[in-house]
A and B are shown apart, each in its own frame.
Chain A
Amino acid sequence: MNLLLKTLIAAVLAFSASMTLADEFERSLVIENHRFDPVELRVPAGKKIKLMVENKDTTPEEFESHDLNREKVVPPKSRVSIFIGPLKAGRYAFMGEFHADLANGTVIAED
């Protein structure tokens, strides 16, 4: 009984560890002069992605994407995280709502 419990706990721990290791991909995105860098961000399809968005400008920006169903303010000179996906393979447009004429980019999810 005790052994069974220990095995079960070990299995759950191993499973959760594998989930966090395998399922979390981190990608960085920089906002500078109201533009995104990189403009095209390649990510694996079917995985959850932690998007680290750094705003190097002195003005706030709002990361917005209807395709990704995400919206978050990025204060000046700071870094925020945005979790996206898991995504099907395809192209997902995003923009900086406060400078929509300049700040545009695409997430490309690939198998």
Chain B
Amino acid sequence: MIAAAIIVFREVLEAALLIGIMAAAVSSMPRARVWITAGVVGGVIGSVVVAGLADLIAQAVDGAGQELLNATVLGLAVLMLGWHNIWMSRHGRQLSQQAQQVAQSVSSGHAELSAVALVVCLTVLREGSETALFLYGISTGNQLALHELIAGAVLGLGSGAAAGVILYFGLVRIPVGQLFRITSALLLLVAAGMAAQMARLLAQANLIEIGTQSVWDTSWLLSMDSRTGNLLHMLVGYEARPSAMQVAFYFTTIGLILCGMRITQRMSGASPSRRSSASGPARVPRPSQAHIL
């Protein structure tokens, strides 16, 4: 039972941490919880479907179906995380200054929340389908009584979800202005880590043929099997033996999202420098900001 709980916990934890961060990032927006919940529900339904079709998917596209599906799911999530960060770089300050009313009047608020819901859905889908497959395997393998299996699954799911909830409540205690900076930084690294995973999957299916050799090995310093290594893998995309292509995907993603954030910040007239953000609340909004309100 404990073994089953540990595997479920590991799968759930990654999704739960990401949901915790995303939920905190949009916590000041109206109906954020509804959107997040919708994302989770959609992801759970999707993961059962994907697990049910596992055989078909594995055989599809010359045996590369699994990698292609996962790489697409990751790619979409990276795009949505990038969109979220860019959106926040423009609207984050308005949210922190006038919280609720502004969020309601920001016309793209729905688009932002649906992007967040989609990231949540895709993440639950990815981790959930593996969990569903694993539980299915155990239940047909007769290695464990059904009640033990259910107890293990519930224990794993519960403790994984609890970690996400703790992270959420830790984050929302941070003043809103700083919260956006922290969640944006965290999600930037999460997105980069996902992009690196994409590169791994494409190499695994031989869809990327160059740069598949690992460029360094830090497993002596921080093993992927260790708790810290595992946690850093989930949060910042740590790899002990990354391939050249993974490193390239990682830093290209960071570069592109940062560029997008800077450009929208300039366009919306909000200076990215710390000094002006400190004097922010007292400042009269420029016309370019006023029209968003």
Contacts and interface: CB of A to CB of B under 8 A. Distances in A.
Interface of A: 48, 50, 58-62, 66-67, 69-76, 78-88, 97-98, 100-101
Contact of A98 (B134, B214, B224): B134
28 contacts: A48-B209, A60-B54, A60-B136, A66-B219, A66-B240, A67-B219, A69-B239, A70-B204, A73-B66, A75-B58, A76-B55, A78-B55, A78-B59, A79-B63, A80-B66, A81-B63, A82-B204, A83-B204, A83-B205, A83-B212, A85-B212, A85-B213, A86-B212, A87-B213, A88-B214, A97-B7, A98-B137, A101-B3
A48 B133 CA distance: 29
Contacts of A86: 212-213
Secondary structure dominating the interface of B:
helix
A48 B59 contact: no
A70 to B, nearest CB: 6
A70 B70 CA distance: 13
Interface range, B side: 35 or more
Interface of B: 3, 7, 54-55, 58-59, 63, 66-67, 130, 133-134, 136-138, 140-141, 200, 203-206, 209, 212-214, 219, 223-225, 239-243
A73 B203 contact: no
Given A73-B54, A98-B7, A59 B212 contact: no
A57 B200 CA distance: 27
Contacts, number: 81
Contact of A59 (B63, B137, B203, B205): B137
| B54, B225, B239: most-surrounded residue (chain A CB, <10 A) | B54
Given A69-B214, A72-B66, A83 B206 contact: yes
